[in-house]
Structures are given as C-alpha cells and as structure tokens.
Amino acid sequence: MGVMRIGHANLKVMDMEAALRHYVRVLGMKEVMRDAEGNVYLKCWDEWDKYSLILTPSDEAGLRHVAYKVEHDADLDTLRARIVAYGISTEMLPAGALPAVGRQLLFALPSGHEMRLYAQKEQVGTDVGSLNPDPWPDDKQGSGVHWLDHCLLMCELNPETGVNRVAENARFMKECLDFHLGEQVMAGPDHSIQAAAFMFRSSTPHDIAFVGGPGNGLHHIAFFLDDWADVLKSADVMAKNKVKIDVAPTRHGITRGTTIYFFDPSGNRNETFAGLGYLAQPDRPVTTWTEDEIGRAIFFHSGELNEAFTTVYT
C-alpha cells in the first residue's frame, strides 16, 4: 500500500525545440505524444509507463509539479484523509486531467512545491519488452538513461527566523506518505538544524530529497545509469553536444552514487546518477553528515563545495 516510486516530473522550458534536442539527443529519451496546450511527453527506454517527463512551454524555467505513483487507486483516498488531517488541503483531479493518467491527488508540500499522487497510467512497455528481452535497445541514443530516478527540491531555510521547510517537508513525508529518512545533513553550532533530508520509499537511497536554501525551487531531476563507465560516457555525450556542465563526473558521499550535473537549455538542472549506492531498508540506521563535512558529503573526491551548486536553481 502507498507510494511506490516517482512517476513523472513536469518542467517548464522556454524553448521547446531546444529542450527536446536536449532530452532526446543528449539523455536518450523518446517523445511519445503532444497535447493541444503544447505540452510534450517523453519516456526513457527502460520505463514501462507511458511517460516520465512533461515539458511545458513557458517564459521561465522551473518545476510545475512532481508526481509519485501509488500501488492501488484506493490508496489515494487513504492518503488524502491523512494529508487533510495533517492540515494540508487537497484536490482530487479526475481521470484524464493528464493524458493516460487516472485520478490524481493534488496538494502542496509545506515548502509550497506542488505534488501529485496517482495509481494509474497507461502502460506501453519498455523498449526491449518483457519476453526474452535484450539488455538494452539497439537504437539507444546519447546517455541512454534508464528511468527518471528522483528529484531534489530546494526549500527555504532561515535559522534567524526559525523557518525550516526541509524539516517540515521531511516530517510530512514521513507521517503522511510513509517515506523513510535515509540520510541527512545537520547544521548549526550544535548540529540541531536539519539542512538536508534524503528520503526513500523504494530500495534506492532516495526517491526525493530536500535541501535548505534562501527560497523554494527545483534543484534537479535525476536519471538513472548503470555504473561509473556510463557516467563518463554521459559526460562525453554532453561535451560533444556543448551542454553546460555544472559538476564534472564525481562521487557523492551522501548516497555513495556517482554523478554528473548539467543544465538543460532553459537552465533546469539535470543529473545522471549511477549505482544504487546501498540497499535502502526501513530499519537501516540514518546516516548523518555534519555541516563541517558538507563538502565531502556532496563531492566526495574533492571535498570542496561548489557554492553555485546550492545557490543556483530554478
């Protein structure tokens, strides 16, 4: 019962054709449909639901909403009751409000980010099928990302005023949606301020993460790759296509994953993230990083924090 995994992200883009070149040619996604409002829907080769990314024409970049898939349609009613009891208003969107998707439970996180839950989305199968499949499709492009893996949201954190949307979001996700805390960053003189929270519902180190900053926004959406070699190839693909790279290939201390960060043409940060790092389990002790080790926690190899990494977001 409850949330299984991330379902899709809806990003705002300022130049649709440039965005499509990026997500198709560089990342290797496939366009599956367009709607009358100009939204474009894409999927990765190893995903079986119809789409995992929606691109919306806009005069600014950023996240419109992020959606997570639940196991049963009845879960939407159970979770809605919890969310309302928690003090957050909800709206139930009818089936078809998004193409190929059943009814959706819409609400805002304490940080203000729009989240949706749904149980049903049309299944079209992976590009290699489910009967005696090959390990990858022959027409895989670019980085050849497997699936949309997670998102990281920037949340207002101001110790002077006592505002901490990271902690508020983490509490909400735990109490209402049964997420578990895998890792956290604790800041302040006595390490009492939760400055980042990495949370999971599946077996990966994080299905969603929250990091403190001056305001709320999108830090990045991440796509899964198999291993370090795939991350290096992804960097080569980006260099060939003159993609703006934010952080060259490295390893995280947090999650142990290998990574590269880069931007789409509108300025939305992407990540290709490889390896499970570890098997996330509800009884696994929470890993805590302290503020004095934040550089190594984020960029394990250099141990140095790139200031733009936490100050630039959409």
How far is residue 20's CA from residue 17's CA, in Å, rounded to a whole number? Answer: 5
Question: Is 72 among the catalytic positions?
Answer: no
Catalytic residue, candidates 206, 219, 291, 313: 206
Determine which one of 150, 175, 301, 304 is catalytic. Answer: 150
Task: Give the torsion through C-alpha atoms of 20, 250, 7, 268, to 10 deg.
Answer: -40
Q: Whole-angstrom Cα distance, residue 34 to residue 11? A: 14
Q: Which of 113, 146, 180, 220 is catalytic?
A: 220
Exactly one of 23, 41, 51, 261 is catalytic; which is it?
Answer: 261
> In this structure, what are the phi and psi dihedrals at residue 249, rounded to the nearest 5 degrees?
-50, 130
Asked about 261 being catalytic, the answer comes back as: yes
Active-site residue, selected from the candidate residues 8, 22, 65, 252: 252
Distance separating alpha carbons of residues 65 and 255, to the nearest angstrom: 24
Collapsing DSSP to helix, strand or coil, 298 comes out as helix
Helices (H) and strands (E) counted in the chain, each on its own, are 6, 18
Q: How far apart are CA 106 and CA 91, in angstroms?
A: 5
Q: Has 206 been annotated as catalytic?
A: yes
Is 8 part of the annotated catalytic residue set?
Answer: no
Instruction: Check if 301 is active-site.
Output: no
* Active-site annotation holds for 220: yes
Positions marked catalytic:
150, 206, 220, 252, 261, 271
